[in-house]
Amino acid sequence: MLVNQFLILAAVLFCIGVYGVIARRNAVMVLMSIELILNSVNINFLAFALRNGSVDGHVFALYIIAVAAAEVGVGLALVLLVYRNRKSIALDELSEMKG
Amino acid sequence: MVAQNIAFGIIAVIMVVGALRVVTVNNVVHAALWLVLVLAGAAAQYILLAAEFVAVTQVLVYIGAVMVLFLFGTMLTRAQLGKEKQLNNPTWYFGIPASLLLLGVMILALTSSFGDEKLPTDSELVSTQAISDQIFGPYLLPFWALSFVLLAAIIGAIVLARKD
């Protein structure tokens, strides 16, 4: 197995996630795209851990999984709050802070 | 080695198709189910990368907990669970050149710096004991910080989602 096949797979997933963040209007869908991005980073960490023969990449992958879980929890609570106040979670309608 | 490459190819195709469906499908629940496929494929790739503990954690945390959160979030924020036309921004097409440009730059950088360098083939599975020795040894301070992050996230989510 090449190092690059994992890295390029991770790059493809990252770019699909970036497209989702830019293109999606629904806040829950944007959070899902962020999950794609975080997963591609994890694949990179584990590929480099195997390449360098070290355990540090595994530790960081576990930390990223924990931070992603916290992020989804807070993010969905925010989405819920916005929905309760606005009856909509379309991100382009949240423009109170526009100058 | 050939078997590993074939497994990688099949799982990679499944993951890329699933990820494309996540960002293009017009139904939030279907997108969540496609995301489950991508996350399971990622867990399989972790096993190919000799990281069984991370793979099991991925299945437990992502497919178990995060997906349930997503489905609950979908249920609580939407009146109907069917198709929705307004899932994309009016200017969604700007995402295509942006992500393709990013992908081109990344693939150029990766091929020029790693070329056809091979992963070591004689590596053993990383034992869970080795990971815990690292977490509770040199990485103890980030572990503490992470537990505070999780505590803050739990309290913050409760405070934000409370009714009154």
**Which of A33, A77, A92 is nearest residue B157 as measured by Cβ atoms?**
A77
Instruction: Please list, in sequence order, all residues whose beta carbon lies within 8 angstroms of the beta carbon of residue B30, skipping any fewer than 6 positions away.
Output: B21
- Mark whether B138 and B89 lie in a shared domain: no
Same domain, B79 and B159: no
- Rounded Cα gap, residues B66 and B20, in angstroms: 20
Per-residue pLDDT at A53: 87
**What global pTM score does this model have?**
0.91
CB A42 within 8 A of CB B42: yes
Contact (CB, 8 A) for B34 and B25: yes
Per-residue model confidence (pLDDT) at position B151: 95
- Split into its structural domains, chain B has a count of 2
Q: Cite the beta strand spans of A2-95 per DSSP E.
A: none
Both structure tokens of A99: 């100058």
Nearest by CB to residue A23, choosing from B92, B106, B130, is B92
Nearest to B103 among A5, A12, A26 (CB): A12
Q: First-to-last CA distance in chain B?
A: 59
CB contact under 8 A, B54 and A8: no
Q: How far is B57 from chain A (nearest CA, A)?
A: 8
**Nearest by Cα to A28 from B98, B85, B72, B37:** B72
Contact state of B54 with A58 under an 8 Å Cβ cutoff: yes
Are A59 and B134 inside 8 Å of each other by CB? Answer: yes
Residue B113 and residue B65 share a domain: yes
Q: Are residues B58 and B9 in the same domain?
A: yes
Note down the domain range covering B136: 127-164
Distance between A25 CA and the closest CA of chain B, angstroms? 5
Same domain, B55 and B102: yes
Q: Select the residue from B36, B121, B160, B163 to test the A interface by mutation, using most A Cβ atoms within 10 A.
A: B160
Q: What is the pLDDT of residues A37-89, one digit of tens each?
A: 999 999 999 999 999 988 999 999 999 999 999 999 999 998 888 888 877 77
Interface contacts A/B by beta carbons within 8 Å: 253
Tokens of B34: 């496609």
In B77-92, which positions are buried (b, 16+ CB within 10 angstroms) versus exposed (e)?
Answer: bbeeeeeeeebbbeeb
The ranges of chain B with pLDDT < 50 are: none
Instruction: Assess whether B114 and B38 both reside in one domain.
Output: yes
pLDDT tens column, B50-82: 899 999 999 999 999 999 999 988 888 775 555
Residue A9's pLDDT band (boundaries 50, 70, 90)? very high
Report which of B46, B42, B40 is spatially closest to residue B64, judged by C-alpha positions. Answer: B40
Give the pLDDT score at B15.
95
Residues near A28 by Cβ (< 8 Å), separated by ≥ 6?
A76, A79, A89, B28, B70, B73, B74, B77
**What's the pLDDT score for residue B83?**
61
> Is CATH 3.40.50.720 the right assignment for the domain spanning A25-91?
no
